[in-house]
């Protein structure tokens, strides 16, 4: 079970926490029990660790029932409902470690990025060059106030860079959302000459690079053209129709392990995916990276590059 102390769904933020079970003893998992709630970046990689003032997830068993309880208002309490105590675990706390929330809540794939009206970006609601977008994430760093209260609005100190594909984007605001504890927003402008259903999106700060996600960009219209779904199925999704889609992927992967290691691996892989998609869940149509771009993927034990 995972506890997420705040979550973002379709651009709407809600504060939530799972009620601890009255009878079960919580047991946190032995490997990476606490991670950034957006990126799930494993230890040892850039932007890993839990940043001051950030939202984090706790993984384990016996933490609570399926239903959750949530605080009704600020200030946020330090406990909720029944109390139960797990064994202590160590967690690395850092000044900043930004992670981008993703549509599938996995740390990879379609980013939770919206237009100024808070409509989420997907393959059927694309950004265009020159558009203003908002990245939703957590981990920009501490604020000059208590995180139990309503967060103050204002850009936080430090340089923030947003990369859309291979191009640095103009960045405006980078600070708390104003609605929710620990939830950060970065406002950026989509660069010119960027196009694709799955254009890599990442954020650089002084402490490292965020998780690599993707956004959909088209030169015009509301849909993009290079999804392996094909233009006919994308058009059906945009028209509000459901789509069934399946594919089988055969690939050869060459994996190069962490810098300084001589280890490498050459793998033949076969993957089959079958999906039922709706227009409201178009962000789950996550199929790789658009041609001409690369994105790094952080995995436990190694870091690979996806062409």
Structure confidence at residue 21 (pLDDT): 41
3-state class percentages of the chain: helix first, strand second, coil last, to nearest 5: 5, 40, 55
**What is d(CA 299, CA 40) in angstroms, rounded to the nearest whole number?**
10
Q: What is the pLDDT of residues 241-251, one digit of tens each?
A: 999 999 898 88
Q: Is the pLDDT of residue 9 over 60?
A: no
Q: What is the pLDDT of residues 262-280, one digit of tens each?
A: 777 788 989 898 999 999 9
Give the residue with greater pLDDT, 11 vs 46. 46
110 with 104: CB under 8 angstroms?
yes
Angle (CA) 140 96 106, round 5°: 75
Read off the tokens for 269. 């892989």
Structure confidence at residue 269 (pLDDT): 86
Q: Read off the pLDDT of each residue in 97-111 and give the average, rounded to a whole number.
A: 95
Structure confidence at residue 8 (pLDDT): 35
- b vs e for 249-267, b when ≥16 Cβ sit within 10 Å of the residue's Cβ? eeeeeeeeeeeeeeeeeee
pLDDT band of 42, cuts 50, 70, 90 = confident
Domain spans of the chain, in order of start: 107-306
Q: Is the pLDDT of residue 257 over 50?
A: yes
Q: What is the pLDDT of residues 106-135, one digit of tens each?
A: 999 999 999 999 999 999 999 999 999 999
Q: Is the pLDDT of residue 142 over 80?
A: yes
Question: What percentage of residues in the chain have a pLDDT greater than 90?
Answer: 65
Residues 6+ apart with CB under 8 A from 232: none
Structure confidence at residue 246 (pLDDT): 94
**What is d(CA 191, CA 129) in angstroms, rounded to the nearest whole number?**
5
Structure confidence at residue 307 (pLDDT): 38
Read off the tokens for 114. 């919206």
**Beta bridge pairs of residue 266:** 254
Q: What is the pLDDT of residues 164-185, one digit of tens each?
A: 998 999 999 999 999 999 999 9
- Among 11-20, 42-51, 146-155, the range scoring the smallest mean pLDDT is 11-20
pLDDT band of 259, cuts 50, 70, 90 = low
């Amino acid at each position: 079970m995972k506890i997420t102390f705040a979550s973002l769904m379709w651009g709407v933020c809600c504060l939530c926490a799972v009620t601890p079970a009255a009878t079960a003893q919580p047991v946190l998992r032995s490997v990476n029990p606490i991670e950034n709630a957006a990126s799930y970046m494993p230890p040892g990689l850039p932007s890993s660790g839990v940043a001051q003032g950030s939202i984090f997830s706790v993984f384990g068993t016996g933490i609570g029932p399926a239903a959750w309880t949530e605080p009704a208002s600020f200030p946020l309490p330090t406990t909720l409902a029944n109390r139960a105590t797990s064994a202590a675990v160590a967690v690395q706390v850092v000044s900043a470690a930004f992670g981008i929330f993703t549509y599938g809540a996995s740390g990879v794939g379609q980013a939770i990025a919206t237009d100024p009206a808070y409509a989420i970006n997907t393959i059927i609601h694309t950004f265009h060059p020159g558009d203003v977008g908002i990245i939703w994430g957590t981990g920009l760093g501490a604020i000059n106030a208590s995180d139990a209260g309503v967060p103050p609005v204002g850009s936080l100190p430090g340089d923030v860079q947003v990369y859309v594909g291979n191009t640095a984007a103009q960045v405006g605001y980078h600070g708390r959302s104003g609605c929710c504890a620990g939830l950060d927003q970065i406002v950026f402008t989509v660069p010119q000459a960027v196009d694709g259903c799955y254009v890599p999106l990442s954020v650089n700060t002084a402490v490292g690079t965020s998780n690599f996600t993707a956004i959909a960009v088209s030169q015009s219209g509301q849909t993009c053209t290079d999804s392996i779904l094909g233009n006919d199925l994308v058009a059906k999704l945009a028209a509000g129709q459901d789509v069934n889609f399946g594919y089988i992927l055969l690939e050869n992967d060459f994996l190069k392990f962490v810098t300084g290691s001589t280890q490498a691996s050459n793998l033949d892989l076969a993957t089959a995916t079958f999906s039922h998609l709706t227009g409201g869940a178009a962000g789950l149509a996550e199929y790789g990276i658009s041609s001409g771009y690369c994105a790094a993927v952080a995995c436990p034990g190694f870091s690979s590059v996806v062409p």
